[in-house]
Amino acid sequence: MIFRESLLPKSARDLADVIAVTMLHAPRRQFPHYMDFDGAFYGAAAGVERLRKRFGDAMADQLLDMLAHAKAHYEAGDNRLGGALMEDTKTLVRGRQPWAYPKELYRWSLGLSLPELTESDLLNKDEF
């Protein structure tokens, strides 16, 4: 496993960035020199653990579960579903409702305080 410890996410924005880099490189397994496939998922999981107090235990456990499912789909060759689950993870980190992850697997109550994901959310990457 390769992952530079200095790149461990310290904020939700950093975590979203690690997830985005993982999404870009996981389908072809061609990562930058400072990380590999396992290291990218390690970095995302370590970031969730570091931000557990911010997210709360239920949501942090949910994010870790989503990352594990996404990694399993990438390893099985299902890049489309793996990418959708990673996008959901990033969406949830950004404070929006996920769309691809099955609602029956949610570990936290999906409150009405989380806004629905819109087309403009997908286009606006600067909102945090």
d(CA 123, CA 77): 27
Tell me how crowded residue 10 is: count the other CB atoms within 10 A of its CB.
11
Adjacent-strand bridge partners of 35: 3
Return the pLDDT at 5. Answer: 87
Return the pLDDT at 14. Answer: 96
pLDDT digits (tens, 9 = 90+) for 85-101: 999 999 989 988 777 77
Name the residue type at position 79.
N
* pLDDT tens-place values along the chain, 128 residues long: 899 888 899 999 999 999 999 999 999 999 989 999 999 999 999 999 999 999 999 889 989 999 999 999 999 999 999 999 999 999 989 988 777 777 666 655 555 565 665 666 556 555 54
118: phi > 0 → left, psi -120 to 50 → alpha, else beta; which? beta
Q: Considering the entire predicted model, what is its pTM?
A: 0.79
